Structures are given as structure tokens and as C-alpha cells.
Amino acid sequence: MNQVVIIGGGIAGLICSYLLSRAGLSVLVIEKNQYPFHRVCGEYVSNEVKPFLERTGLYPEDFDPAQIKNFMLTSVSGKMATATLDMGGFGISRYRFDEFLYKKSEKAGTRFLLKNQVKEIKKTAEGFEVLLGNGEKVGCTMVIGAHGKRSTIDKSMNRGFISKRTGYLGVKYHIKTDFPGDSIALHNFEGGYCGISKVENETYNLCYLGQREHLRRFGNVKEMERQVLFKNPFLKPIFENSNFLFTDPIVINEFSFDKKEVVENDVPMIGDAAGLITPLCGNGMAMAIHSAKILAEMIILNKDDLATNRSKILSEYERKWNKLFSFRLSLGRMVQNLFGSKRSSNFAVNLMKRSPFITRKIIENTHGEFIE
Ligand SMILES: Cc1cc2nc3c(=O)[nH]c(=O)nc-3n(C[C@H](O)[C@H](O)[C@H](O)COP(=O)(O)OP(=O)(O)OC[C@H]3O[C@@H](n4cnc5c(N)ncnc54)[C@H](O)[C@@H]3O)c2cc1C
């Protein structure tokens, strides 16, 4: 029987599986896609996790990630403020980063079931039974939920947030464009905001959070962009003068920033499955990595008798998760209210211009300390 089954091979699942396998545990990751693949994400990784990635050999040095240290914010009507990012970050596409982590984890001993979806988790006398879409069943002592923002597994577990409609829409492109490689910009538009920053290979990520209602009203993504995003004078030229590398954008919808349970039916959640921070904070991936790290460390400490120590691991993980991330998520939700409307985004730009100290404090508090 597997000691640990991880549902989902995104950033959280891959980091957790790597650490556990390296410590000698038997780990199976079940992922519904096949690497490499594109995902909706701004692809800016906060440097808070860089020391940890370097120490564990998981920093994707060979791809020469962009080094980002400047921030630009524009309001719906095109007012602009700039700041230096104390911590900064690096840019790498999820296409490359996830595949890189997958190979590292596989080399460390993790087994992968790709193109397989988990439909249900059942408790058994020995631990858990995981039911797959193809009808197979997999037994294990411990299951970890690393299935991201929203999944069929959330429905089968009857998780609180899943029945609520949120109306959010996420859209991503890769483009070749003229923009400083060491900067990240967040451009507001009515109902959302659009980020641009460099990844590897002289390519830029253009990714936005918008409203499904706008898509419904304007019929398709292109028309919605023309009618809504182009009103910001910074966004129009980016869309009109860049070379778009995908035939169609990558689109997701209905994700929730609401509070989630960190442990559900004895299944610990990591990454977005435990809670999604608003994308404007630019550290969802760092939180996914950090939560994977703290859970892996607790499991490794108790690896000789996982079944007996399970409840201790779960309660300690939940306590630590709340201490590290609860406040950040609430602050992220509050800051998001300063985005996506003419008045509030002008207020945010003015705040950044007039009170660099407050701006710095907000950025600091939505991020963590450097993680070793
Ligand atoms: C618009 C937008 C922009 C963002 N920009 C940034 C940014 O610039 N920087 C940043 O740090 N964060 C950003 N984020 C957040 C970031 O993308 C996430 O926090 C991060 O991807 C979380 O990683 P994860 O491993 O938890 O989930 P994911 O990366 O989503 O991985 C979950 C995996 O689980 C798999 N899966 C799901 N259900 C099942 C199932 N039932 N069976 C098998 N497999 C399953 C999925 O296929 C997926 O591969 C952004 C988010 C959005 C919405």
C-alpha cells in the first residue's frame, strides 16, 4: 500500500511529493493532465521561496527566469504609480516550471498516474481508498489534497465554497512585447486587473482576472477585451502591438477566494485547495510551496507510524497553516477591493504615490519572510 497519495500535480503537489519521496516515503501523485501544459497564472514567483528552492535543488536556474524588482500600478483611467519591490520575484512559465518539478520529483522516487482524475476519497480501516475516473481504486495511509482552486473532488467532499457562484474569470496569454524585463505591471480595468511580466525565453506573461458577466455581455473574449480592458490607455497598446503566441487564450472561471477548511475529512489540503490568495498579491505559488513544505516536514517527522500519528500531523498542520496564512488571505481580499473600479483604483494609485510607507507595509503583510 502507498504511504501517501497526493491528488493533483501542480506546484503544491509536486513540491510535497519531492520532499516526501526524497525522505524515503512511498508517494503516488495522481494528476489529471500530462506535463508539460499551460495554466492560467501570472507566473511571477515571489522571492520569499527562492532560498528554499535553491537549497533543495528546485530553483529552475537553467531556464534563466526573469528577475523582477519593479512594480507599476495603473488605474482604470490610466493614472500611474511605481515602486521598487523590496523582496521581488522571478518569472517562469508554469509550462516549464511544473514540468521541471515533475522530473525532479519522479527522479526522487515519486510515482505518477497522469491523465487520471480522482473522483472520490473513502476512509477505510487501514487509511483511505482513492477512486479514479477509470474505475480503479488506490489504497493509502494518508491522502493529501493538492487539487488547486476548484475540482470535482471538492464537490464529492461537499466542501462549503463549491456551491457558491463567484463570477470570476481568469485569462492568460504568452506574448512577445516591448516591456522592461525587470518589472511587473498591474493595470486596472472595470471589474478586474491585468498583469504583465517577463518569464523565460524573452517571452511575457499577460494574464487577467475579469468578470464572467462581461464575457456574457460582449459575447467573446476578444470583444470583451476591446470593450472593457482597452479603456485603460496602458492596456490597449499592449493588446494591439504585441505578438500573441497562443492561437487561443487559456481561460478558467468560477474560482473562489473564500475561506476554505484546511483539513477536510482527515485530508490535509495544500496550495489553493487550502485557500486561494487574490492574484494581485503575486504569491499564490509561494504559499503553495510553503504549505507543501510544512506539511511534508510534519509527515517526515512522523513517517515511522503515519497511521497512528495522523491526527497529530493534521492538527499541527492546521494550526501552523492558520498562523502563517490566514491573515495574508484576509488582507489580500481587502486589497482586492481597491482594484477593478475607477474610483477605488485611482485611490490605490494615489495611496502608492503619496504613502510609499503604507504601500510597502501592505505588500510586506501579504507576503511572508524568506523561507529557507
Ligand atoms: C488569474 C490568476 C493569476 C495568478 N497569478 C499568480 C502569480 O503571478 N503568482 C503567483 O504566485 N500566483 C498566481 N496565481 C495563483 C497560483 O496560480 C496558484 O496559487 C498556484 O497555481 C497554486 O498551486 P496548486 O498546486 O495549489 O494548484 P494548481 O497549480 O492549480 O494545481 C492543481 C492540480 O491538480 C489537478 N487536479 C485537480 N483536480 C484533480 C483531480 N480530481 N484528480 C487529479 N488531478 C486533479 C489539476 O490538473 C492541477 O494540475 C494566480 C491565480 C489566478 C487565478
The pLDDT tens digits for 56-89 are: 999 999 999 999 999 999 999 999 999 999 899 9
Distance from Cα 253 to the centre of ligand 1, integer Å: 12
Distance from Cα 150 to the centre of ligand 1, integer Å: 9
Distance from Cα 148 to the centre of ligand 1, integer Å: 5
- Counting atoms of ligand 1 from 1, which one is nearest the CA of 283? 11
Helix, strand, coil fractions of the chain, as percent rounded to 5: 40, 25, 30
Q: How far apart (Å, rounded) are the C-alpha atoms in residues 286 and 276?
A: 11
Q: 105 is in which domain, residue-wise? A: 2-366
pLDDT at 356: 80
Is 68 inside any structural domain? Answer: yes
Tell me the per-residue pLDDT of 109-132, one tens digit each, with 9 for 90 and over.
Answer: 999 999 999 999 999 998 999 999
Share of the chain above pLDDT 90, in %: 80
Is 352 inside any structural domain? Answer: yes
Q: How far apart (Å, rounded) are the C-alpha atoms in residues 265 and 244?
A: 44
DSSP 3-state assignment of 348? helix
Does residue 280 surpass a pLDDT of 90? no
17 contacts 30 by C-beta, under 8 angstroms: no
Is 126 inside any structural domain? Answer: yes
DSSP letter, residue 265: T
CB-based burial of residue 254 (10 Å sphere; 0-12 exposed, 13-18 middle, 19+ buried)? middle
CATH of the domain at 312: 3.50.50.60
Ligand 1 interacting residues, C-beta cut-off 6 A: 7-13, 30-33, 39-45, 117-118, 146-149, 151-153, 170, 207, 209, 255, 271-273, 279, 282-286, 288
Segment 188-212 shows an average pLDDT of: 96
Is 361 inside any structural domain? Answer: yes
Domain count, the chain: 1
**Reported confidence tier of residue 3, pLDDT bands at 50, 70, 90:** very high
Model pTM score = 0.96
Is 204 inside any structural domain? Answer: yes
**Reported confidence tier of residue 351, pLDDT bands at 50, 70, 90:** confident
Does residue 359 surpass a pLDDT of 80? no
DSSP letter, residue 157: T
Is 372 inside any structural domain? Answer: no
Is 371 inside any structural domain? Answer: no
Is 301 inside any structural domain? Answer: yes
pLDDT at 207: 97
